[in-house]
Amino acid sequence: MKNFFKIIILSLIIMCGYKSAYSAEKVEYLKTHWSFKGLFGKFDRASLQRGYQVYTEVCSSCHSMKYLSYRNLAEDGGPEFSIDQAKAIAASFEVKDGPNSDGDMFTRPGKLSDKFVMPYDNVKAAQAANGGAYPPDMSVLVKARGGGVDYIYSLLQGYEEPPAGMKLDDGVYYNKYMYGNKIKMSNQLSDGLVEYGDGTTATVEQMSKDVTTFLMWAAEPHLESRHRMGFKAIIYLIILTVLVYFSMKKIWSGIETKI
C-alpha cells in the first residue's frame, strides 16, 4: 500500500517533470494575485467587466475574438452583464448579414446570438494593416502561450528601451517578455487610457490585470463550473474510496495476507 502511493507520487512527479522540461526558456514573469486560481477559484466579476471594456476600447481594433458571442457576456460564470446590457452591447455593433430576398448583403445592429464582430475581413487584411504581423485571435490566446496569464500580464507591461546596440526595424518594439524580445505590437496601454465606469483608477497595471482576466475567461468560459464540479467529484471519490477501503478490509479479514 505504501509502495503503491510511492509509485503513484513518483510517476506524477515524473510526468510533471517532463512537462516542465518542455518550457525550456524560463523567464520570471510579473506576479499578481489571480482570483480564478486554486480549488475554489472564481472570476472577479467587476474585473471581467472592466477587462471587457479594455478589450473593446483598445484591443478589439486589431485582435478578433471569433469564438465568442455577445450572449456569452450575460452567461453564468462570465462577466455576467444583465441581458439588457448584453443586448445593448450587441446592438452597438454593425453586423453584416444577408443575402436578403433581393440577393443583397446588408448591415444591421448586432444581436445576442452574433459572434463578436471581427476588426478585419481576413488574415491578409489584418497583416496588411499591421506591418505584416497578424494580431492573433484572442479567444484562446491565454491557453496558446506557455506562460498563460502571467505571460500576457507581463507582456503588456514589458515595454522598455532596447538595450544599447540593439537595432530595431520600423514597427518593431522591444519587450522584455516577448519570445526573442521583439514584438510588432506597440505599447498599447498608458495610465488613464480608459475611463472605468466603477471608478477604479485605470493604471497600466490595473488594465493589464483586468484585460488578462477577461482573456482567461474567454479561453475557459466554463472554468467556474469546472472548479465547482471538480471539488464535488473529488470529495465524492474520497468518501467512496474510504468506504470501499473498509469493505475491502472486512472482506479480506479471513485471509492472512496483508492488503
Q: Report the interface residues with ligand HEC, using CB under 6 A.
A: 54, 58-59, 61-63, 130, 133, 135-136, 141, 145, 152, 155-156, 178, 183-185, 188-189, 211
Across the strands, what pairs with 96?
107
Note the Cα 257 to chain centre separation in Å.
52
Judged by CB under 8 A, which of 8, 125, 128, 166 binds another protein? 8
The interface mask with another protein, positions 71-100, x = CB under 8 A, is -x----------------------------
Q: Where are the beta strands (DSSP E) in 128-231?
A: 173-174, 182-183
Complex with another protein: residue 69 or 187, whichever CB lies closer: 69
The interface mask with another protein, positions 212-241, x = CB under 8 A, is -------x-xx---xx-xxx-xx--xx-xx
**Residue 23 burial class via C-beta count within 10 angstroms: exposed 0-12, middle 13-18, buried 19 and up:** exposed
| Binding partner of residue 216 among another protein, ligand HEC, none, CB cut-off 5 to 8 Å per kind | none
Q: Give dist(CA 112, CA 114) in Å, integer.
A: 6
**Residue 110 burial class via C-beta count within 10 angstroms: exposed 0-12, middle 13-18, buried 19 and up:** buried
Cell of 76: 453564468
- In the block, residue with C-alpha cell 499591421: 130
Q: Give dist(CA 68, CA 60) in Å, integer.
A: 13
Helix (H, G, I), strand (E, B) or coil at 119: coil
Judged by CB under 8 A, which of 49, 60, 139, 213 binds another protein? 139
Q: Are strands 173-174 and 182-183 parallel, antiparallel or unpaired?
A: antiparallel
CB of 232 to another protein, least distance (A): 9
| Binding partner of residue 8 among another protein, ligand HEC, none, CB cut-off 5 to 8 Å per kind | another protein
Residues making contact with another protein (CB under 8 A): 1-4, 7-8, 11-12, 14-19, 21-22, 24, 39, 67, 72, 136, 139-140, 143-146, 148, 179, 219, 221-222, 226-227, 229-231, 233-234, 237-238, 240-241, 244-245, 247-248, 251-252, 255-257, 259
